[in-house]
Amino acid sequence: MNTDSTGESAARGWPKRVVSDTGPLLSAFQAQQVALLRWLYDTICVTTGSLPEYERHGAGPLVERLIDSGLAVVHSLTESEGQLAEQISQAIAQHPLTRDRNAQTHYDLGSRDAEIVMRRLITRKLRRLLCFRDTSS
């Protein structure tokens, strides 16, 4: 859904769709710059894993409004993506620079889920590009 009725984001050549973890959206809410998000993007992809963090910061109602307006779209991880997320959480917990060795803490990260959704969307885009490429010349 294009929420920018003037089509400015497309005309500027900026991404129409972006995957976001909690940090950028929380900052936009705190700075009262939701209008800027609408100006920049047509769709903001968030994950179900990030929703509890928005609630913890008191931004749950703001995210719900973005979802209801069609600007934000919630993505859930598939079972295999959930397993990948668990592996990433374990790796983060075991990394020498990590102070928090509790993998569950890292499993609850919206940024990790956002990375997995971004990989999914990029993979789909690449598959479409490769499948529909004309190789007859």
Which CATH number does the domain housing residue 82 bear? Answer: 3.40.50
Q: How confident is the model at residue 3 (pLDDT cuts 50, 70, 90)?
A: very low
Average pLDDT over residues 110-135: 75
In angstroms and rounded to an integer, the radius of gyration of the C-alpha atoms of the chain is 17
Domain coverage including residue 107: 8-131
Residues shown for the chain: 137
Domain presence at residue 35: yes
Domain presence at residue 2: no
70/3 Cα distance (integer angstroms): 8
Domain presence at residue 17: yes
Residue 67 has pLDDT above 60, yes or no: yes
pLDDT at 117: 86
Q: Do 76 and 47 touch, CB atoms closer than 8 A?
A: yes
Other CB atoms within 10 A of residue 59 CB: 19
pLDDT at 59: 94
Q: What is the mean pLDDT of the chain?
A: 80
The torsion angle over the Cα atoms of residues 63, 67, 70 and 76, rounded to 10 degrees, is 120
Domain presence at residue 51: yes
Domain presence at residue 63: yes
Domain presence at residue 82: yes
Q: Which helix (H) or strand (E) holds 25?
A: helix 22-30
pLDDT at 6: 47
* Signed CA dihedral, 110, 29, 119, 124: sign only: positive
Beta bridge partners of 46: 74
Residue 85 has pLDDT above 50, yes or no: yes
Domain presence at residue 30: yes
Q: Would you say the pTM of this structure is higher than 0.75?
A: no
Q: How confident is the model at residue 29 (pLDDT cuts 50, 70, 90)?
A: very high
Total number of domains in the chain = 1
Domain presence at residue 22: yes
